[in-house]
Amino acid sequence: MFETREMSTDAETDRCNQLTSGLLILAGKELSAFIRAVDRLFGSEQARQSALDWIEELGRMDWPSGESIPDWRRATVSASARLGDLLSGSGHRSAPSLRSLCSSRLEVAQSDGRIE
């Protein structure tokens, strides 16, 4: 009887480990995509800060119970909002204005023929 209980505990531990591993992979993909986008649009300094903000927001999230998957996008949206606040006038001198960055990106995309 002891062996059966030990095996079920091991199976439960394995299942939890697999679930955790899968969640970490999904979180890593979300964070990676977010950081790549911030780096392309605003540079490496903002990307590093946004990564820290994303991780901080992840810690603030309400985690679902059981096998539900956390909403990683919530951390991304929150970190994006923090970046927007930073760039839109909080006194961060090294960051170009959000409007000028967006305008220049739009002009480049139009000249490359990516958008009309």
pTM (2 decimals)? 0.62
Does residue 54 contact residue 76 with C-beta atoms inside 8 Å?
Answer: yes
Instruction: For residue 80, give the nearest of 43, 114, 34, 14 by alpha carbon.
Output: 34
pLDDT in tens, the chain (116 residues): 555 555 567 888 888 788 778 888 888 999 999 999 999 999 999 999 999 999 998 888 877 776 677 788 888 998 999 998 888 875 444 444 555 555 555 555 556 655 54
Which is nearest to 15 in space by CA: 91, 69, 67? 67
